[in-house]
Copies of this chain bind each other. A is one copy, B any other.
Amino acid sequence: MNASALKIGTSHPRGDAVAKAAGTERYAADLYPQGCLWAGAVRSHQACGRIISIDTTAAAALPGVVKVLTAADVVASNRQGIIHKDMPVLCDDLVRYCGDPLALVLAETKEALQRGMSAVQLQLEPLPGLFDLDSALAADAPLIHEDKPGNLLAQASICKGTGLDGFDACSVVVEGSFSTPVQAHAFLETESGVARLEEDGGLLMEVSTQSPFRDRFEISHALGIPWGKIRIVAPSLGGGFGGKDGATVQCLLGLAAQHADGRWVRMQWDREESFKAGYKRHACRMEYKLGAAADGTLQALHAKLWYDTGAYAHLGAEVMELGMEHAGGPYRIPHTLIEGWCVYTNNPTAGAMRAFGVCQATFGFESMMDLLAAKLGMDPLELRLKNALVRGDENCAGMRLTTSTGIKTCLEQLQQHPFWQDREVWKAASPAYKKRGIGLASVFNAAGYGGGVRDAATAKIELTPEGTFLIHNAVTDMGQGNSSAFLQIAGHILSQDASRVLLKQPDTRTAYPSGSSSAGRTTYTFGKALITATEELKARLLNWAGMILFLQDNDGLELQPGRVLHQPSQKEVSLVALAGYMQPEERVCLGQYVAPTCKEVPPTAKGFFIGFPHVIFGYGAHLVRLEVDSLTGQLTVCDYLAVTDGGRVLNPGMFDQQVQGGVAQGLGYALMEDFTVRDGVVKTPDFATYLIPGSLDIPEIISIAAQGEPEETGPFGMKGIGEVAMNGPLPAVANAVADACGVRLCHGPLTPQRVLAGVKG
C-alpha cells in the first residue's frame, strides 16, 4: 500500500489492479448463488416471421426443467427499451431478427437447461426479411414495426447558415461515399447476472450493467414490478463499451425470478448468444460533399448518414443524432446540411457503443478533409489547423462553443512531433515491397448526455467506524477505471493514502441515481458530485477535530493519513476516534451535480428527440505511420500518436490507458473487425470468425495530453475522454493508405483484401 496521500495530477496504480491481476475481483459472471436455477432464452432461428405456436410441453416435462415461460407469462407491457420501448422480452406475435427470444426455460442445472431449451417446439410462419438499407427504405417494403412508417426509427436534419446554398461560393468541392461495418463490443465478460424475488415482492438483481438505476425502469415497464421495489447491484464489469447500457439479461432474468419461488436464478449468455442478441455498433452508409474557398477555408458541407439499427430501437435514434452532431468534424463550417436516417432492418439490434455514431461520421469527414487538401494542393495538417474550432466558434451543428476547445492545441502539438516533422525521411526509408504512409485525423467527441436529458449524479462517501473512507460509487466501472479516479479524488481532498480509501460498486439501495456509465460522463459528473460530498465530509471531520481539541476555529487543522493534525500545537485526533464521536448519519455525506446544459439551443436541428446539443467536447489529433504490403495488401501500423485534450489530467497513467484502449479498439475497427450478417444470420458468431486485434497487432500507442486549458466546469478541470480516441484510427489509417499508395479506401474495415483490390484497381 502506498503510504503517501493520493494526489490529483499524479499517476497512482489503479485501485482494482491487484484484485484483477490476482483474479479475485468478483464479476456478475462469477456469481453462482447456492441452489440457483439456470435460465436461458429459446431464440428464433429465423430473422422474420409470425409465431404460429410455441409448444413447451415436452420441455417442461423433462427432468430438471422447472418452468418454461412464454410471452403469455409476462403480466405487464412485455416491452423493453431505454427510450423507445419496442423490444419484447419474449416475442408475442412476430420475430424480427434471428435471435429474437421466444421462450424462457428455468432449470436446476446447466445441462437440464440446455436439454429443456432444445425441447421447446417453435412453429413460425416465415415472412420476407429486410436485410439492408435499400430494401428497408424501399417504398413497398413491409413494416418491421407497424407504427414506424418507412421503417424509419428516426429521421432528422441539421441545417446551419444557408445550408446547401453555401456551396455556391466554394472554389473547390469534393464528394465521397463511405460505409462502416457492424462492430461487436467483444467484452471479456458476456451479458450475465443473478436475480431473485425477495419476501416483500421486491426484485434483487446482481448484474453486469452500465446503468443500474435506469435498468429498474426498463424492468418495471416490462414486468410490472414497481421500480422502487427493484434493487440492482452492479459489480465491476468485464468490459462494457456501451453494450451493457440498458437491459440485456435484465428483463429475462427478472421474469425468471418472478417464477422461481424466491430462488436465485442465474443467466449468462455465451459468446454466440452475446453476438446474436447483444447490441452492436450501427453499420453506417454516408454520402459527403464538402466545399471550400481557394485558400482552404471551409465553406459548406452536405452529409447524409444512414444508420442500420436492426430489429429494435435501443439507442439508435440517439446514435444517429450524435453522429450528425459530429458529422462536420471539429471545424468552422459556416453552411451545413446534415441529414440522418435511422433505419429498422431484420438484422440483429444495434445500440450504444463507444463513440456512439461518431466514429462512423469521423471516417467519412476526415477522409473528405484529405480529399479536399489533395484537391487544394494543401498540406492536410495545414488545412485542419486553418479551420480548427476555437472557443467562441460555432461548430458544424450551429452550437457556439463556450467550454474548453483544444483541437488547435492538439494539432499544434502533433505538428511539433518528430513523426510529423520527419515524415518525409521516414517514408523514404520504406523497405522493399512496402509503401509507407502517414495519415492524420482530427477527432472530437461530446461528453455527457446532451440537451433535454438530465445529466446528474449524487455521490455518497462515508467515514467508516474503522476510520477509513468508503465511496459508494453509483456509476459502474466497466474497466475504464472511473473507480480509481474516484478513489484518487477523495484521497486527494482528504489527504489519505490508497489504503484508507475504499469503494463499493453500485447498489441502488445504498447509492443514488447518477445516470449511466456512458457518454464519457462518469468521472466528470459523478466526480463533481463526489468532490462536493468529500469536501463536506472533510469539513465535518475538521469541525469535530476542532471540538475535540478545544480549538477556537479550524485554522492550522490538517487532514493527514489516518488523522487530523493541528499543526501549531501538534495535537492530533485519529480518524478512528473521530468516527467514534460522530453519529452514523453524520459520517455519511452526499453531494450532487447537474452538468451544464445549453441555455440557448440553436434552431438548427429538426427531428431530434433529445440529446442535442452538447456543450462539452473532448478533442484529439491522431497520426498513424504505416506500411502497406504491395504484394498482400497487409497493413502494418508502425506507430500511432494521439494528442488528446481532456482538460486537466487527473492521473496521467490512466489518461494514457484510456487513449490507448480507444485507439486499440479503433484499430480493430479500422483493420479487421467485420461483424458479418447475411440474410439476418450472424456469420461471425465467435472469436474464431470475428477477429479483434491481439496485443501483437497493436503498435506502441503514444499518448500525449494536450497542454491546453482545463475544463473549468469539470472536477479539477478534467473532461471525459473515454470515447474520443476511438474515432481516429479508421480515418487516419485510410488517409495513410492514400498517402502511401494514392488509393482512397472508403469502406471499412481496411482488410488486406480491400487494400489489395484498391492498390490493384
Contact = CB atoms under 8 A, between A and B. Distances in A.
Nearest to A543: B592
A76 interface: no
Contact of A543 (B458, B586, B599): B458
B585 A454 contact: no
Interface in A550-564: 550-555
A455 B552 CA distance: 7
B594 A546 contact: yes
Contact of A547 (B456, B543, B580): B456
B597 A454 contact: no
Nearest to A515: B547
A454 B583 contact: no
Contacts of A550: 454
B552 A452 contact: yes
Given A512-B586, A547-B513, A588-B585, A594 B454 contact: no
A374 interface: no
A225 B592 CA distance: 41
B452 A594 contact: no
A594 B512 contact: no
A389 to B, nearest CB: 24
A107 B580 CA distance: 38
B552 A453 contact: yes
A634 B475 CA distance: 79
Contact of A554 (B228, B513, B540, B594): B594
Nearest to A581: B228
A215 to B, nearest CB: 15
Interface residues of A, number: 33
Contacts of A228: 580-581
A551 B512 CA distance: 17
A590 B594 contact: no
Contacts of A547: 454, 456, 513
B585 A552 contact: no
Contacts of A555: 599
A540 B583 contact: no
A594 B543 contact: yes
Given A456-B543, A543-B456, A594-B543, A552 B451 contact: yes
Given A583-B512, A585-B585, A594 B456 contact: no
Contacts of A453: 552
Interface in A591-628: 592, 594, 596-597, 599
A451 B543 CA distance: 17
A228 B583 CA distance: 11
Given A512-B583, A546-B594, A547-B513, A552 B454 contact: yes
Interface in A452-484: 452-456, 458
A539 interface: yes
B546 A590 contact: no
Interface string A557-582: 00000000000000000000000110
B592 A539 contact: yes
Interface in A488-534: 512-513
A627 B546 CA distance: 54
Contacts of A543: 456, 458, 592, 594
B592 A540 contact: yes
A588 to B, nearest CB: 6
Contact of A553 (B454, B513, B581, B585): B454
Task: Report which residue of A228, A456, A552, A596 has the largest number of chain B beta carbons within 10 angstroms of its beta carbon.
Answer: A552
Interface of A: 228, 451-456, 458, 512-513, 539-540, 543, 546-547, 550-555, 580-581, 583, 585-586, 588, 590, 592, 594, 596-597, 599
13 contacts: A454-B546, A454-B547, A454-B550, A455-B552, A539-B592, A540-B590, A540-B592, A553-B594, A553-B596, A554-B594, A585-B585, A585-B588, A585-B590
Given A228-B581, A553-B594, 8 more contacts: A454-B552, A512-B586, A540-B590, A543-B592, A546-B594, A553-B596, A553-B597, A555-B599
